[in-house]
Amino acid sequence: VAAIEEREKSCQQFAHTTLLILMQKGYPVEAFTEPDKITEIKGTAKLVKMEHTLNVINSDDISDVEYTKLQHANKILESEYFSIEKHECKSQLALDNEPLEEDVLFWDGGRIKPALERFEIVTAQTNDISMLDEYESETMTAAKDKSYATSQKIIFSSVMNLLQDKKQQKANPLEPQTDKLSITKETLHLSVISDNTKPSLKRYNSERITAAIDYLIANYAEASAAGLGNFKSLNRKYDARTLGYFLKRFGLKHSAVGDNKDRKYQITEESVLMMKGITNRRQIKQISVFKQANEFNFKSVTNEVST
């Protein structure tokens, strides 16, 4: 470490001396600034995004029937495309009123939908989670489309427990998988699932973050198969950033709190309230990730198989 610091110090001294020589010889020396063209491109991109957002907000409302027709149409107008986006935004966020600018930006062209569904899963009751897994098994859902709800709940709960410094309840450990990243029926249970493990606003330090990332690395295959990210090979200098990446998969954010001497982190209350609010609205409108499983007739499938 001392050698690296000495080298950096030497490089800084060399750069400083070189600048002084150039200035003495009359060469103009200016601070580096970002090229105007790059700044212009960035500004243009923001304007395009804002224009798109306003087009979605100001587009005509369409019914579910009209939405389905447009989805199956061979050609649609640009205005109809914006109407489709508006309908999807209102539906997925379970909005009663017209979407606001922040709603459309948060929805992000539908990219937030998987995070909404993951949040619904990890904050749901055990019975609902088991039912969703059973539904996907009974309907032979393709592996790439499965939610692996039980695994999501286990992994999220374990990370939350580690951040909150709670003791893990040891049960059946999750067996390491190959790079095929598939979860089998035999590897569904990592620990006893607690219905009470929800996103907490309790602060956690770097030691707790390290423990959480250690866990994700140890169970990287299962986390990847469940759509929670790739934790196989990580730069451990950025554990806090990695945890932020994991939390983002559930629509959550965390930020540093306190000063440098006592630096801690905390899941932001704003992100928790945002996700809870949307989840509650989706449950009321019965459009949650559990909708199809709730409507599925498990008995009829069982009877068909037995006959």
198-245 pLDDT per residue, tens: 788 999 999 999 999 999 999 998 899 899 999 998 999 999 999 999
Give the contacts of 220 (CB within 8 A, at least 6 positions apart): 230, 231, 232
pLDDT band at 196 (very low <50, low <70, confident <90, very high): low
Contact 202/127 with Cβ under 8 angstroms?
no
What confidence score (pLDDT) does residue 283 get? 94
Buried b (16+ CB within 10 A) or exposed e, 146-175: bbbbbbbbbbbbbbbbbbeeeeeeeeeebe
User: pTM score, two decimals?
Assistant: 0.76
pLDDT in tens, 99-144: 999 999 999 999 999 999 999 999 999 899 999 999 999 999 898 8
Spans of all domains in the chain: 38-108, 114-298
Model pLDDT for residues 42-99, shown as the tens digit of each residue: 667 888 899 999 999 999 999 999 999 999 999 999 999 999 999 999 999 999 999 9
In the chain, the percentage of residues whose pLDDT exceeds 70 is: 73
What integer pLDDT is reported at residue 39 of this predicted model?
Answer: 58
